[in-house]
Amino acid sequence: MPYMKYMSNVREIVKRILSWGSPEKYVRKLHESKKYLEAYSEHTDSRITTEPHNAIGGSWEEMGKLQFDFLVKRGLRPHHTLLDVGCGTLRGGRHFIKYLNAGNYTGFDISPKAIEYGRKLVEEERLTDKIPVLFVSEEKNLKFEELRGKTFDFLLAQSVLTHLPPESIEELFENIGKVMKEKSSFYFTYFDGERYKHFSIEDFRYPFSHLESLAKEHGFSVKDYSNEYPHPIGQKMIEVVRHGAGL
């Protein structure tokens, strides 16, 4: 690791420990002092400086390939357009960008450092000619206003709803239709549970029935594809389509 980068990592870790004590205390304090998504993005930002792969969940190669292979199996082809909601540091994005035709990949995230890392990665992996659209969601909401009426064939939120509180999930279902075509498929993963549970500072479980009824309320049907998605820690994979669009 180059000296300057090493020193900047050391500074970041020392800053965190000096300000809050232990890393766990730092995250707790962050969440006590800010709104959930602001605290979450600041936490992700701080980790990306030192551990860009683990900050978005780790298993870099395995999880990148899993999401890519799954969408290709579900029909993703180079001419399709894809919206990667909460694209992080492009664990899956790097595979999609390489595969899709130029201009067909769009990824956004609430973490500015994730997008900064993603842009550098695109250069390092010589993918700039694929002209991926990468942007920071400044408002940190799921209203898709930055996309100004653009629609996509495929949409993906891998390991995103697992970290979202109920109000963000509702906002997502309220607005996802704006960026979907008549026959689009939106795939997302979540942690399943018999009851809603906020089980650690940044992790949530939801019952399938809750997600299904939210989807129905907004004119969608859902289908469970978890049997075709061997996620290493058991996240479930769901497809959302417009009601009557072919499930």
Ligand X SMILES: C[S@@+](CC[C@H](N)C(=O)[O-])C[C@H]1O[C@@H](n2cnc3c(N)ncnc32)[C@H](O)[C@@H]1O
Binding site for ligand X (CB under 6 A): 37, 41, 44, 56-57, 63, 86-88, 91-92, 108-111, 114, 137, 142, 158-160, 163-164, 168
Query: Virtual CA dihedral for 76, 114, 174, 71, nearest 10 degrees?
Result: 10
Closer residue to ligand X, CB minimum distance, 111 or 185: 111
Closer residue to ligand X, CB minimum distance, 177 or 245: 177
Alpha helices in the chain, H assignment, sequence order: 3-20, 23-33, 36-50, 60-73, 93-99, 112-124, 166-175, 208-217
Closer residue to ligand X, CB minimum distance, 41 or 106: 41
Sign of CA dihedral 105, 157, 42, 21: negative
Q: Which of 150, 224, 147, 227 is nearest to 187 (CA)?
A: 224
Closer residue to ligand X, CB minimum distance, 122 or 142: 142
Q: How far is the CB of 161 from ligand X (least distance, A)?
A: 9
Q: How far is the CB of 171 from ligand X (least distance, A)?
A: 8
Q: How far is the CB of 133 from ligand X (least distance, A)?
A: 14
Residues 93, 87: Cα–Cα separation, whole Å: 7
Q: How far is the CB of 149 from ligand X (least distance, A)?
A: 18
